[in-house]
Amino acid sequence: MVGIIELIMGILKTTIKDVSITPLREIADDRGSVLHMLRCDADEFTQFGECYLSEVVPHAIKAWKKHTIQTQNIAVPVGKIRLVIFDDRKKTNFQDELMILELGRPEAYQRVKIPPGIWYGFTCISKTAALIVNCADHPHNQSESLLRDVNDPYIPYSWIENKKIK
C-alpha cells in the first residue's frame, strides 16, 4: 500500500488530501464475528446521509465515480476488494495522485474515507462476491456524481495490469 504518512488518533492520514484509513475492530465469536463500522462519536464522523451496500462479484469492476458533495465511508466485511483512488484536484498539494488499497478481513478490515472531488473505483479480488458497506454523509443524489468509463485513458491506471500508467 502506497502513501501512508501519519497516524493520529488511530486514523491513518494518507498522501491524498482528506483520504484517511481507520482500522476497525472485529470481535471474534464462534457464532460469527461482530464488526465495527462507524459510530456517531468517532473522530471521522460528521453526519449521516445514507447507509447502503454494494456487492461486487469476482473479477467485476465498478469504476470510475466522483462525487461533488457526498463523502464516502466504506469498509469491506465480506470478501476482498482492490480500491483505486485517483486525485486530479489541481489545487491541492498532493504527493501521490494514485492510491491502490486492498480491503477485507482479517488483515485489512478498515474504514476508508473518500471526500468529494476524487475519482475512485473498485474490483472484487476474492473468489466469492465481496460486499462493501458505505455510510455516506449525504443521501444518494444522482446529480452530484460524475462517471467515467472503466478504461477511460484520462485516469492513469490499468485494471488489467494493476498498476499506474504513465
Binding site for a second copy (CB under 8 A): 30-41, 47-57, 60-62, 77-78, 124, 129-131, 133, 135, 139-140
- Give whichever of 16 and 130 is closer to a second copy, judged by the CB atom: 130
Q: How far is the CB of 74 from a second copy (least distance, A)?
A: 11
Return the amino acid letter for 98: L
Residue the block writes with cell 458497506: 133
Distance CA 53, CA 142 (A): 16
- Give whichever of 139 and 156 is closer to a second copy, judged by the CB atom: 139
Q: How many CA atoms lie within 13 A of 133 on its CB side?
A: 15
- Give whichever of 8 and 40 is closer to a second copy, judged by the CB atom: 40
Q: How far is the CB of 154 from a second copy (least distance, A)?
A: 21
Farthest-apart Cα atoms in the chain, separation:
50
Q: Which among 70, 102, 96 is positioned nearest to 84, based on CA atoms?
A: 102
Q: How far is the CB of 26 from a second copy (least distance, A)?
A: 9
